[in-house]
């Protein structure tokens, strides 16, 4: 029998930047975050599914979600619990704020040290930054091998893991020893839906901060432990304070600009035969086409 | 002087286009900074590789040549890249934002505790003064769309070296140097950097397809967005592209929705194109997309929304339904080309 795995899934709550409507930009041209719903980063859901499949396959395997963000990011841990994860940790602290990918990976690495997994699975990249850096950076900090762009975890015998990777122009199957970190591509299987059983069980799972916001100072000792979502700050994960958050971020944002289109003198045309025909004739006359 | 280093990717025994594009850009930056341009080639059977790298402006070529280094595997390539950077102390290191570069560069940046900016659409040299009164000269401005492509951010690394960035294929132009000189070849002593633990990941199977779709080189691109509505409706775009002798492109939203293949994606997370004619059908014109096509010689937009942002950069904005307009265009072209 295969040895059970301790899996950590790295997940991020992100603003849904994919279909940004007109109201997503404020009058002054800055991004109106409030107009964008906060969602479970899509490829992190693909990562969660790969973890849950291993849990299905290898009895005794556990799946923990690890996320970093503000208090409301506890929402994606609950979402993970509803879909079959066993627990989760929210890294939240003002000192984590302003982190670039390097400082983010440092904080995650410190937390992973406490969780002690055999395998880390993360989405390839988050849709708010599209950098695809945090996975490989966490792997490097742990001195673990990384397998990026996984489309499917083919097998795992507790010692090694075989992974099919989706590359730009092809596929590759690799075998890596555990512990390892895998990032999952969006072409991997979609995540299973919430399960009614889990939804019922974890509906009231909360972080201590969420309880406090609701006016309760402590967990009800009569309630089961699984309703407690762990929250860790810098003091809990330890490490060098200079490497967290803004202080630990080598990259700085010098400038943010709105998109200023160099508006051209565009000719407005209608769908009429005359307009379309006129355009085609013009394009042919100036040798753009034909 | 600290130089500029370009990690050069090998693709089927050849230097990848993206690496030659980065050398072209690196050459300009090196000239501006008054430093040299170095190339790092890691692979197997690389004899002669320095000639082409020199043609694109490399003054120094580091060659790490060993059977175990091809095909690419993260750990040995990272160990060598980190080793060479520690030894040579470049001020700037550039990688292609490819499957390889986006796997390798973050690993290298983490080991060096240096910043990395992904998918830059522009690289410039400039100064920076911070709020504490510190002034930094000649920094690399790493410019990229952010937040799903709704804003453009300029990123700098004031304190950390090297300044590292990845750039997508096609974003920079590829041009051989005007008067290339022979490059100084430095054979990398890989034994110094590699250990057995760098070879723990085995490649079991590999299928790399030849490039079938190459929209980068197309003179005419008919591109579709989410507004096209379905994979089925994209056929109309293919028809127009065939008639005009062009290729079909797509926006990220259309690719994400499954209407078109990723190889056709134009924009920040796809390919950058500069055709003589770009016909944007049902594309709203988010910066994520326009960053990859705004250098087209002529842009025609077809959109039901007269206020779509794409219309601001279009030479001709046709307001209406593409399902009605495209067949009219095809018909008109056929009639007029007789």
> Where does a domain end: B136, B170, B199?
B199
User: What is the structure's pLDDT at A28?
Assistant: 55
Quote the domain boundaries for residue B273: 215-336
Structure tokens at A228: 């407690």
User: What is the structure's pLDDT at A19?
Assistant: 62
Residue B253 lies in a domain: yes
> Where does a domain end: B135, B167, B199?
B199
| Per-window interface: A 120-179 vs B, CB < 8 A | 127-137, 139-141, 145-149, 162, 167-177
User: What is the structure's pLDDT at B286?
Assistant: 86
User: Residue B222: which CATH number?
Assistant: 3.40.50.1220
CB < 8 Å to B220, chain A: 289
Cα(B257)–Cα(B141) distance, integer angstroms: 34
How do A62-68 and A6-10 pair as beta strands? parallel
Q: Which of B18, B116, B159 to mutate against chain A (most A CBs within 10 Å)?
A: B116
Q: B153 and A134 in contact by Cβ < 8 A? A: no
Domain co-membership, B235 together with B322: yes
Report the greatest alpha carbon distance in chain B: 70
What would the pLDDT profile of B196-241 be if each residue is shown by its tens digit?
Answer: 999 999 999 999 877 677 788 899 999 999 999 999 999 999 999 9
Helix A101-115, helix A134-142: angle, nearest 10? 50
Residue B302 C-beta-side C-alpha neighbours within 13 Å = 28
Q: What ipTM was assigned to the predicted interfaces of this complex?
A: 0.90
Residue A195: strand, helix, or coil: coil
Domain co-membership, B151 together with B74: yes
Helix (H) or strand (E) holding B83: helix B74-88
Do the Cβ atoms of A268 and B325 come closer than 8 Å? no
Domain co-membership, B90 together with B231: no
Residues 6+ apart with CB under 8 A from A235: none
Domain co-membership, B176 together with B306: no
CB < 8 Å to A262, chain B: 294, 313
Residue of B nearest to A139 (CA): B107
* Residue A77 reports pLDDT greater than 80: yes
Residue B331 lies in a domain: yes
Cα(A127)–Cα(B145) distance, integer angstroms: 12
Domain co-membership, B47 together with B184: yes
Domain co-membership, B95 together with B232: no
Across the A:B interface, residue pairs with CB atoms under 8 Å apart total 246
Domain co-membership, B170 together with B56: yes
Domain co-membership, B35 together with B129: yes
* Sheet containing strand B299-303, strands side by side: A267-270, B316-319, B299-303, B277-281, B220-224, B247-250
DSSP assignment letter at A47: H
Domain co-membership, B185 together with B230: no
Residue B298 lies in a domain: yes
User: Residue B63: which CATH number?
Assistant: 3.40.50.620
> Where does a domain end: B199, B231, B249?
B199
Residue B205 lies in a domain: no
Residue B209 lies in a domain: no
Domain co-membership, B276 together with B171: no
Residue A21 sits at φ, ψ, to 5 deg, of -85, 180
CB < 8 Å to B147, chain A: 15, 17, 31, 128
* Residue A58 reports pLDDT greater than 90: yes
Residue B320 lies in a domain: yes
Do the Cβ atoms of A22 and B309 come closer than 8 Å? no
Q: Is A61 on the interface with B (CB under 8 A)?
A: no
Could you tell me the mean pLDDT of each successive run of 10 residues in chain B, 338 residues long?
95 91 98 98 96 97 97 98 98 97 98 95 94 94 82 92 94 92 96 97 90 83 96 95 94 92 88 93 90 91 93 93 95 89
Residue B210 lies in a domain: no
CB < 8 Å to B328, chain A: 271, 273, 276-277
User: What is the structure's pLDDT at B263?
Assistant: 87
Q: A146 and B107 in contact by Cβ < 8 A? A: yes
Band of residue A31 on the pLDDT scale cut at 50, 70, 90: low
Structure tokens at A6: 């301790």
Closest in A132, A162, A253 to B155, CB measured: A253
Residue B204 lies in a domain: no
Helix H, strand E, coil C: the string for chain B is: CCCEEEEECEECCEECHHHHHHHHHHHHHHHHHCCCEEEEEEECCCCCHHHHHHHCCCCEEEEEECHHHCCCCHHHHHHHHHHHHHHHCCCEEEEECCCCHHHHHHHHHHHHCCCEEEEECEEEEEEEECCCCCEEEEEEEEEEEECCCCEEEEEECCCCCCEEEEECCCCCCCCCCCCCCCCEEEECCHHHCCCHHHHCCEEEEEEECCCCCCHHHCCEEEEECHHHCCHHHHHHHHHHHHHHCCEEEECHHHHHCCCCCHHHEECCCCECCCCCEEEEECCCCCHHHHCCCCCCCCEEEEECCCCCHHHHCCCEEEECCHHHHHHHHHHHHHHHCC
Domain co-membership, B241 together with B111: no
Structural domain tally of chain B?
A: 2
Domain co-membership, B140 together with B253: no
Q: Structural domains in chain A?
A: 6-248 (3.40.50.620)
DSSP assignment letter at B70: S
Cα(B178)–Cα(B183) distance, integer angstroms: 15
Residues 6+ apart with CB under 8 A from A167: A149, B99, B208
């Amino acid at each position: 029998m295969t040895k059970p795995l301790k899996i950590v899934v790295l997940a991020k709550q992100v603003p849904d930047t994919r279909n940004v409507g007109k109201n997503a930009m404020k009058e002054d041209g800055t991004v109106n975050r409030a107009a964008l719903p906060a969602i479970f980063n899509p490829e992190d859901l693909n990562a969660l599914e790969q973890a849950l499949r291993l849990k299905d396959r290898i009895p005794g395997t556990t799946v923990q979600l690890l996320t970093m963000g503000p208090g409301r990011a506890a929402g994606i841990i609950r979402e993970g619990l509803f879909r079959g994860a066993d627990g989760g940790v929210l890294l939240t602290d003002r000192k984590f704020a302003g982190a670039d990918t390097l400082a983010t990976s440092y904080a995650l690495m410190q937390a992973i040290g406490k969780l002690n997994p055999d395998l880390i699975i993360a989405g390839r990249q988050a849709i708010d930054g599209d950098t695809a850096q945090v996975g490989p950076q966490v792997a490097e900090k742990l001195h673990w091998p990384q397998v990026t762009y996984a489309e499917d975890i083919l097998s795992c015998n507790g010692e090694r893991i075989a992974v099919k990777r989706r590359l730009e122009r092809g596929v590759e199957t690799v075998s890596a020893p555990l512990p390892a970190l895998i990032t999952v591509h969006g072409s991997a299987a979609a995540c299973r839906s919430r399960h009614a059983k889990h939804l019922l069980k974890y509906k009231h799972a909360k972080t201590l901060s969420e309880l406090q916001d609701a006016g309760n100072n402590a967990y009800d000792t009569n309630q089961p432990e699984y309703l407690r979502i762990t929250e860790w700050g810098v003091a809990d994960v330890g490490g060098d304070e200079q490497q967290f958050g803004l202080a630990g971020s080598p990259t700085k944002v010098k400038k943010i600009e709105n998109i200023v289109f160099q508006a051209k003198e565009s000719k407005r045309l209608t769908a009429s035969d005359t307009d379309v025909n006129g355009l085609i004739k013009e394009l042919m006359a100036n040798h753009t086409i034909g | 002087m600290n130089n500029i280093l370009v990690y050069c990717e090998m693709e089927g025994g050849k230097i990848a286009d993206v690496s030659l594009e980065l050398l072209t850009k690196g050459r300009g930056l090196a000239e501006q900074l008054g430093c040299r341009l170095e190339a790092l080639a890691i692979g197997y059977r690389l004899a002669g590789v320095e000639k082409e790298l020199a043609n694109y402006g490399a003054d120094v070529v580091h060659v790490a040549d060993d059977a175990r280094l091809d095909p690419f595997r993260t750990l040995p390539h990272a160990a060598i890249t980190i080793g060479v950077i520690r030894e040579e102390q470049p001020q700037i290191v550039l990688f292609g934002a490819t499957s390889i570069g986006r796997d390798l560069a973050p690993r290298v940046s983490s080991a060096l505790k240096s910043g990395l900016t992904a998918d830059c659409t522009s690289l410039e040299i400039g100064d920076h003064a911070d709020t504490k009164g510190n002034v930094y000269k000649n920094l690399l401005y790493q410019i990229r769309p952010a937040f799903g492509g709704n804003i453009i951010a300029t990123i700098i690394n004031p304190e950390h070296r090297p300044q590292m960035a990845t750039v997508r294929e096609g974003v920079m132009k590829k041009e051989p140097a005007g008067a290339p000189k022979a490059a100084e070849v430095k054979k990398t002593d890989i034994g110094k950097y590699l250990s057995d633990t760098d070879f723990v990941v085995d490649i079991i199977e590999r299928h790399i397809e030849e490039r079938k779709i190459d929209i980068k080189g197309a003179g005419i691109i008919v591109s579709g967005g989410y507004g096209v509505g379905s994979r089925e409706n994209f056929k109309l775009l293919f028809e127009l592209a065939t008639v005009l002798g062009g290729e079909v492109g797509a926006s990220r939203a259309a690719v994400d929705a499954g209407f078109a293949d990723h190889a056709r994606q134009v924009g920040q997370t796809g390919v950058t194109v500069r055709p003589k004619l770009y016909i944007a059908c049902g594309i709203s014109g988010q910066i994520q997309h326009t960053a990859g096509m705004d250098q087209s010689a002529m842009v025609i937009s077809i959109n039901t929304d007269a206020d779509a942002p794409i219309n601001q950069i279009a030479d001709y904005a046709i307001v209406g339904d593409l399902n009605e307009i495209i067949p009219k265009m095809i018909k008109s072209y056929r009639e007029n080309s007789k």
